[in-house]
Amino acid sequence: MGKLVNAHSRPSGIVQPVQSQPVTLKLEIASELQIAILFPEPKRRRTGVTQKAAVPSRVPDHSPHSTLNQFAPALKKLLRHLTSAVLLTCVFCPSSTAQTPVPHSFQSIAITSDSTALLRFAGRPAALFRNYYDLYPIEHSANLLNWEPLATLLRTNSITNLVEFLDLTSAHQLTRYYRTPTNHFPTAYPKPTGPHPVGTFTRFFADPTRTYRHGIKGNSSFLVSFWYPAAATVGKWPVPFMDSKIADWIYGAGSDDARRFAALVDHTHSGAPCATNGAPFPMLLYSHGNYGWRTENLHDFAELASHGFIVASADHLDCGATLTPGGQVVSAGDVGSDRKRYFDNKVADLHFISGSLSDLNRDDPILRERIDLEKKGAFGWSFGAGATLKLCLDDPSFLAFASLDGSLGDVLFRRTNSLQRPLILMGSTSVLFDYSTNSAYSFRLANSEHRTYADPLPFVESPSLVSRRVAQTIAGCLVSFFRKHLKNEDDAVLDDPTKVYPDAAGFRKK
């Protein structure tokens, strides 16, 4: 069993917070900073013309906008403490070529005939991100002091139209302020479909029984990341998809691939408070494939978390690249030369994390009393699917298992008569379906290859309408499966997933 203890004492079983890579927000220096404000216009019908008030220009006392004066001290204080240029309205951007990025800004704010606010946003990403999306986080306030998240807009970068948002909450508001970062937040992923925002954090776990990890004497630490249903939080921007050191190691320092992977973000927010509505949440453990890494299926993790699951994923000994507590990049050796050792280490990592869940549920500042320890499941891709299957066979507290084109031979030849829990098999794992004695589902994906079952190929390396549709089939079926067998919520998708996801071919169930 793993043990969580105080990070300052550093005994065995320690779990330490890891310093997350900061999101660098670009500072925009402008000769005039404008505040986007909505005011009522008494005695006149609203015309839909954008209304702006420059800072620090004075507003005449006879103007209906004179109420701005009472906010001037608060505004000055706010501007002094704004972090890394979160602008409250538009900064003038000169015209430029299609390849040159243009910062996010407010293009206009108009009042519609039903008294709601129509916000239009400008901005253009670099050509490197043309095949992806861009995120526009918006926050709003009634007094410049108390801000709340309003929405995060998703723009398809290949479409050049202005981004628009109709704020249905603005009707009958006396005054409304909006702000958005000028940064680009390019992402490869569509937005999660569940009702919850998604939070994330990363910890170093240390297993004192294995102290020569990656050939470093005394090193027993490995990184574990968590994704969970979060509460909407002001000032939390999307986190990077991959650490820049890891991107350089895997794709080559300075290459377009490394730059792209390091600059992309996902739909999660670092350190956001865990949601309370719906808690406690079922717990899922994930295991990556050979030479993969813990974030290789971010789309699935975020989708599951948005629907009320907590997901944990570790960098195993066979990972393509990971960081040590000292910031050194390390990676696996020749996995094929000692397959059993790497497999056994993956399983040991999973058992160690599982053994630490009770302590996390008691002591962790984010997950305290949020984990449903009676409802656990596991899933993995390729070699990782075999490791999570072994975990489920070893530990009956894991109630459901999912395989993403799993490599399961290491397990099947040892244990072929104990598959008594629900399972879903996507890809070439039909033999396991035959051995199952409980609820089982199996299908393969059209237009796919082995690497389609992990995020980088369908979303980042070769994004297309087909590849994204196939990847969304995987995520959607995972959500339906774990909802049905861990939450007792049946959306009937698994009665016949081909009706919802036409790429799910050869479907079988029992």
pLDDT band for position 378 (50/70/90)?
A: very high
More confident residue, 373 or 437: 373
**Alpha carbon of residue 77 to chain centroid:** 33
pLDDT band for position 401 (50/70/90)?
A: very high
∠ CA 239-297-318, nearest 5°, is: 105
**Position 403 pLDDT exceeds 90:** yes
Query: Among 296, 286, 283, which residue's Cα sits nearest to residue 229?
Result: 283
**Position 153 pLDDT exceeds 90:** yes
Mean pLDDT of 441-467: 86
pLDDT tens, position by position, 252-277: 998 988 988 889 999 999 999 999 99
pLDDT tens, position by position, 317-330: 999 889 988 888 98
pLDDT band for position 47 (50/70/90)?
A: very low
Task: List, in sequence order, every residue forming a beta bridge with 440; answer none if it has no partner.
Answer: 423
pLDDT band for position 56 (50/70/90)?
A: very low
CA dihedral 440, 445, 449, 450 (to 10 degrees): -20
pLDDT band for position 66 (50/70/90)?
A: very low
Give the single-character DSSP code of 494: G
Share of the chain above pLDDT 70, in %: 78
Across the chain, what does the average pLDDT equal? Answer: 80
User: Coil, strand, or helix at residue 490?
Assistant: coil
In angstroms, the CA 134 to CA 262 distance is 15
pLDDT tens, position by position, 421-439: 899 999 876 677 887 878 9
**Do 123 and 104 form a contact (C-beta atoms < 8 A)?**
yes
In angstroms, the CA 36 to CA 118 distance is 12
**Do 94 and 153 form a contact (C-beta atoms < 8 A)?**
no
pLDDT band for position 37 (50/70/90)?
A: low
Least confident residue range of 89-93, 154-158, 165-169, 412-416:
89-93
Q: What confidence score (pLDDT) does residue 398 get? A: 96
Q: What confidence score (pLDDT) does residue 134 get? A: 95
In angstroms, the CA 273 to CA 198 distance is 10
**Position 337 pLDDT exceeds 80:** no
**Position 466 pLDDT exceeds 90:** no
Q: Is the dihedral of CA 360, 366, 372, 376 positive or negative?
A: negative
Mean pLDDT of 71-82: 46
**Position 285 pLDDT exceeds 90:** yes
Least confident residue range of 66-70, 141-145, 432-436:
66-70
Beta strands in 350-416 (DSSP E): 371-381, 398-404
**Position 205 pLDDT exceeds 90:** yes
∠ CA 117-156-265, nearest 5°, is: 100
**Do 313 and 294 form a contact (C-beta atoms < 8 A)?**
yes
More confident residue, 54 or 176: 176
Mean pLDDT of 368-374: 97
**Alpha carbon of residue 367 to chain centroid:** 17
pTM: 0.82
Q: Which CATH superfamily is domain 15-22+188-509 in?
A: Alpha/Beta hydrolase fold, catalytic domain (3.40.50.1820)
Residue that the structure tokens 């297993």 belong to: 207
Q: How many other CB atoms sit within 10 Å of the CB of residue 496? A: 12
**Position 85 pLDDT exceeds 80:** no
Q: What confidence score (pLDDT) does residue 65 get? A: 37
In angstroms, the CA 369 to CA 32 distance is 48
In angstroms, the CA 70 to CA 89 distance is 19
Sheet with 102-111, strands from edge to edge, namely 102-111, 117-124, 163-167
pLDDT tens, position by position, 207-227: 998 887 888 877 889 999 999
Q: What confidence score (pLDDT) does residue 274 get? A: 98
**Do 169 and 257 form a contact (C-beta atoms < 8 A)?**
no
Share of the chain above pLDDT 90, in %: 50
Q: What confidence score (pLDDT) does residue 46 get? A: 37
In angstroms, the CA 24 to CA 55 distance is 25
Least confident residue range of 20-24, 103-107, 245-249, 284-288:
20-24
Residues of the chain with CATH 3.40.50.1820: 15-22+188-509
Mean pLDDT of 218-242: 92
Q: What confidence score (pLDDT) does residue 8 get? A: 26
Mean pLDDT of 277-298: 94
Please, how many CA atoms are within 13 Å of residue 246, restricted to the half-sphere of its CB? Answer: 22
**Position 359 pLDDT exceeds 90:** yes
Q: What confidence score (pLDDT) does residue 95 get? A: 37
Write out the H or E segment, with its range, that includes residue 505: strand 504-509
Please, how many CA atoms are within 13 Å of residue 456, restricted to the half-sphere of its CB? Answer: 21
How do beta strands 163-167 and 198-206 pair? unpaired
Q: What confidence score (pLDDT) does residue 298 get? A: 93
Least confident residue range of 118-127, 178-187, 272-281, 445-454:
445-454
Give the single-character DSSP code of 92: -
H helices present in 173-234, as ranges: none
Q: What confidence score (pLDDT) does residue 412 get? A: 59
Beta strands in 68-132 (DSSP E): 86-87, 102-111, 117-124
Q: What confidence score (pLDDT) does residue 36 get? A: 55
pLDDT tens, position by position, 15-24: 443 433 333 3
**Position 306 pLDDT exceeds 80:** yes
Query: Among 233, 234, 223, which residue's Cα sits nearest to residue 319?
Result: 223
**Do 117 and 109 form a contact (C-beta atoms < 8 A)?**
yes
Cα Rg for the chain, rounded, in angstroms? 25
